[in-house]
Chains A and B, each alone.
Chain A
Amino acid sequence: MTDVTNLEERFQARIDAEQKIEPKDWMPEKYRKTLVRQISQHAHSEVVGMLPEGNWITRAPSLRRKAILLAKVQDEAGHGLYLYSACETLGVTREKTIDDLLSGKAKYSSIFNYPTLTWADIGAVGWLVDGAAIMNQVMLCRTSYGPYARAMVRICKEESFHQRQGYEIMSVLAKGTPEQKEMAQDALNRWWWPSLMMFGPSDANSPNSADSMKWKIKRQSNDELRQIFIDRTVQQAEVIGLTIPDPELKWNEATKHYDWGAIDWTEFNNVVAGNGPCNKERLAARNKAHDEGAWVREAALAYAAKKAKKQAA
């Protein structure tokens, strides 16, 4: 037992010294499990996140927007891929990770269980959802696990256009026809609170946060990140003349932050529990793609095996 204690001390000392943990290093089982859970959830979120936006590729209102959206949703596939790879360095195959998603065992960000009803939702998703995600992701570039941090660096680099394209869509709509402006405001109204929920429960109610902070998997708390996001986004909404749907929102001169209203966590818990507007559709779509792709994956393997055999002969 002393051995494990020693190992744990050395492990923690390394973390405290801001050294990265690499796949072959000893790590506490709980650290590994926490990472596997977090990285796989993150990967699933990228891949499931392709669906609400992918919806609009065929309906994008201009060729420029169509190309941008396609490139953006394609990036999400890439990000899912990088993250599944990071997960594999912890000894969990992509296949196993995806099986857990498809069976409904694994979670993904609840935000993707909301529907994209209008074109303005594509703007709102880019601006707010990617905006909230990037707060987390920038922090995660410094996370203690090397492969996760490296994946995040790549993701952040690619992600930087995502939020801007969303905000651009919103700003064009906001100064468009009255109908377009209404569409933009409606999208903001619907996406604002779910975006705030993306940062997770408040610190007091976040069961995994303490360990994650100690191990420097997370480096800023849910509430800290949420507050920065609000402060930034309020200003951006003002610039394009949209109203944040929170009557209690008010600048606080003393804290130099915005005060804001209460999040409806009942809604959040409901969506997490599978009762969001699109939970079933999202999982069904992923399962369909996986099932219908099975023969394709098999064929490629069968052909590779034949070719290898021929080359060996």
Chain B
Amino acid sequence: MSAENSNNWPLWEVFIQSKRGLEHKHVGSLHAADAQMAIENARDVYTRRQEGNSIWVVPAGAISSSQPDDAAMLFDPADDKTYRHPTFYVMPEGAKYI
């Protein structure tokens, strides 16, 4: 971003909760001069079809993310921990509600 183009608004990431009780989900991004405007813009841009119950906006620069190259190190070790899943366990035949 060059200095002479100073009228460029910062980028925000938008998270929408579509229904009470559900999680806020990332839906996209937009530009706004401040947080309040970002919320209003998110309302106008991302909830025109009854998608909204609640809005979060986060300055795009404030998001830290894991590096793709670290994916193997971060996530592969979970692969062999199958005992964390209920299907790992053998239940005696006939047992109910378990």
A179 within 8 A of B: no
Tell me if B's interface is mostly helix, strand, loop or mixed: loop
Contacts of B5 in A (CB 8 A): 95
Q: Cα distance A29–B50 when bound, in Å? A: 39
Q: Which A residues lie at the B interface, using CB under 8 A?
A: 22, 24-26, 74-75, 78, 81-82, 85, 88, 93-95, 150-151, 154, 158, 294, 297-298, 300-301, 303-304, 307-308
Q: How far is the CB of A304 from chain B (nearest CB, A)?
A: 4
* Chain B residues engaging chain A, CB cutoff 8 angstroms: 1, 5-9, 11, 27-31, 33-34, 37, 45, 48-49, 65, 67-68
Bound Cα distance A303, B37 (Å): 11
Q: Which residue of B lies closest to A24 (CB)?
A: B68
Contact of B30 with A301 in the complex, beta carbons under 8 Å: no
**CB < 8 Å neighbour of B30 from A81, A93, A154:** A81
Instruction: Knowing A24-B67, A24-B68, A78-B45 are in contact, say whether A85-B1 is a contact too (CB < 8 A).
Output: no
**Across the interface, which residues of B come within 8 angstroms of A26, CB to CB?**
68
Known: A78-B48, A82-B28, A85-B28. A304 touches B34 (CB 8 A): yes
Besides A22-B68, A297-B9, 11 new A-B residue pairs in contact (Cβ under 8 A), listed by A number? A24-B67, A24-B68, A26-B68, A74-B48, A94-B8, A94-B31, A150-B28, A151-B28, A298-B7, A300-B9, A300-B33
Question: Which chain A positions have C-beta within 8 A of B37?
Answer: 300, 304
* Chain B neighbourhood of A25, CB < 8 A: 68
Residue of B nearest to A296 (CB): B7
Beta-carbon nearest neighbor of B30 in chain A: A81
Least CB distance, B48 to chain A, in whole angstroms? 7
Q: SS class of chain A's interface: helix, strand, loop or mixed?
A: helix
> Which residue from chain A places its CB closest to the CB of B29 in the assembled complex?
A85
C-alpha spacing A310/B10, complex, angstroms: 19
Q: Bound state CA distance, A85 and B1, in angstroms?
A: 15
Decide if A158 touches B49 in the complex (CB within 8 Å).
yes
Q: Return chain A residues, CB-CB under 8 Å to B7.
A: 294, 297-298, 301
A297 / chain B contacts, CB cutoff of 8 Å: 7-9, 33
Contact of B34 with A93 in the complex, beta carbons under 8 Å: no
Q: Check B65 against A24 for contact (C-beta < 8 Å).
A: yes
Instruction: Note all chain B residues with C-beta closer than 8 A to A88.
Output: 11, 29
Contacts of B31 in A (CB 8 A): 94
| Cα–Cα distance between A82 and B49 once the two chains are bound (Å) | 15
- Residue of A297, A298, A303 with most partner-chain B CB within 10 A: A297
Q: Name the residue of chain B whose CB is nearest to the CB of A297.
A: B7
Q: Is the CB of A298 within 8 A of B6?
A: yes
Min CB gap B67→A, angstroms? 6
The 8 Å CB contact of A303, one of B33, B45, B49, B65, is B33
Q: How far is the CB of A91 from chain B (nearest CB, A)?
A: 12
Question: Whose C-beta in chain A lies nearest to the C-beta of B37?
Answer: A300
Min CB–CB distance A125 → chain B (angstroms): 21
Q: Tell me the bound Cα distance from A300 to B45 in angstroms.
A: 18
| Residue among B1, B7, B65 with max Cβ neighbours from chain A (10 Å) | B7
Q: What is the CA–CA distance of A25 and B27 in the complex, to the nearest angstrom?
A: 20
